[in-house]
Amino acid sequence: MISANDFIPSKYTHSVESGFFQWSAPSNIALVKYWGKKDNQIPANPSVSFTLNNCKTITKLAFAKKENQGSFSFDLLFEGQPKEDFKPKIQKFLERIEIYLPFLKDYHFTIDTENTFPHSSGIASSASGMAALAMNLMSLEKALNPEMTDDYFFQKASLLARLGSGSACRSVKGKVVVWGNQKNIPASSDLFGVEFPHAIHENFTNYQDTILLVDKGEKQVSSTVGHDLMHEHPFAERRFAQAHENLDHLITIFENGDLDAFIKIVESEALTLHAMMMTSMPYFILMNPNTLQIINAIWKFRKETKIPVCFTLDAGANVHVLYPENTSEKVLQFIKDELVGYCQNGQYICDRIGNGAVLI
C-alpha cells in the first residue's frame, strides 16, 4: 500500500532558476459526502464526486530563486489585485506541504488566481483553488525531476491538494473521483483521490449540474468548524458506516444506470449532511426557506413528469440540480419557469461533468 512517506522526494536531478506555470482546476460536487476528518486531513469516511467543467479556478504560479531560504515568500493576487486575506490560508498550506516539496523556501512565488464563477456566489472556491495551486507546484517539481511518472504526478498533486482542502483532492483528474479507503474500490486511498475504476453507464455521460444560487453570502459555518462537529457527534459512527454503504451501492448504480436508485442515494446523502449539522452541538440550519421551496418543487416536478432530476447540497443553502443530458431541455425550462424565483437575483450556473485540471 502507498504511504504518505512515498511522496517525500530524496534528491532532485535538475535545477530551475525562474519561470511560471498556469493550470486550471475545476470544482466538484460530492454525491457521497465527506463530513468529518481525522488529523492530517484524513477523511472519516470515503466520498465520491462528479468533477465539474465550467466552475474553475485558473492560477498562474511564477517562481524565482531567492537568497534567503529561511522562510516562505509569496505574493498573492486575486483577479490581478493583491489579496491579503487569502494569504494566511496559503501560508498554512505551504507549511503543511513543505515536507513533500522541500524546494518551497528556495523560491519567491507570485500566485495569480481567478475564478470563472462569480465571487461570493457561495460556491466554494477552495476545492478548485487548492487543486490549481497543487498542479502548478507539481509542474515545478517535475521540472526539478523530469523522470517523474504521470501516476506519481497526479497522485501527489491530489495529495497536496488534500492538505489544502480535503475536497480539493477530488478536483485533479477524472470525471468521477473517489477519495478514501473503500474495500470494493481497488487503489482507493485516504491520501488522494482516484478516478472511479469501474464501468460507468451511459446514463451518466455528460450529467448536468445546474447550481441555483440561493444564498450568496459568507458561509455560516466554515468547513473546519463543520468537520469538527463530527467529533463527539452522537450519530458519527453510524454516519461514517452509512457513507461506505452508500458508496458501495453507487458502484452498482454507476454500472447499471439505475437513475431511481441514484436519486435515492444522492438526495439522502445531501439531507444526511444537513441532518448531521442539525444534530451536532452547537447545531446549525444551513438551508433557508428557498432551499426547501426548491426541493419541494423538484419532487413535485419529478413525480408529475417522471423525469429523473434530483438535488444535492453542500454545507450551505445553494442547490445543485442534477439530471441526465437527454432531459436538459425540459429541466432547464422547469428551472426557468419555477426555480429561478428562489435564487438570489435570479442567478444560477449551468455546469456538467468535466475531466479535471488542465495545463494552460
Question: x/- string (CB under 6 A) for ligand DP6, residues 162-191?
Answer: ---xxx------------------------
Distances (CA, A) of 89 to 64, 94, 149: 22, 9, 29
Which residue carries 426557468 as its cell? 336
Q: Which amino acid is at 112?
A: D
Q: Which of 142, 175, 227, 352 binds ligand DP6 (CB under 6 A)?
A: 227
| Residue 243 in contact with ligand DP6, rule: CB under 6 A | no
β-bridge partners, 48: 32, 178
Nearest to 262 by CA among 213, 203, 336: 203
Residue nearest to ligand DP6 (CB): 166
| Residue 314 in contact with ligand DP6, rule: CB under 6 A | yes
Which residues, 6+ apart, have CB-to-CB distance to 351 below 8 Å? 52, 53, 54, 55, 208, 209, 210, 211
Query: If you count them, how many residues does the chain have?
Result: 360
| Residue 233 in contact with ligand DP6, rule: CB under 6 A | no
Question: x/- string (CB under 6 A) for ligand DP6, residues 23-42?
Answer: -------x--xxx-----x-
* Closer residue to ligand DP6 (CB): 30 or 259: 30
| Residue 224 in contact with ligand DP6, rule: CB under 6 A | yes
Residue 88, preceding bond cis, omega within 30 degrees?
Answer: no
Q: What is the DSSP letter of 40?
A: G
Question: Which helix (H) or strand (E) segment is 230 a member of?
Answer: none
* Closer residue to ligand DP6 (CB): 34 or 152: 34
* Closer residue to ligand DP6 (CB): 47 or 139: 47
| Residue 318 in contact with ligand DP6, rule: CB under 6 A | no
Footprint of ligand DP6 on this chain (CB under 6 A)?
30, 33-35, 41, 47, 124, 126, 165-167, 223-224, 227, 273, 314-315
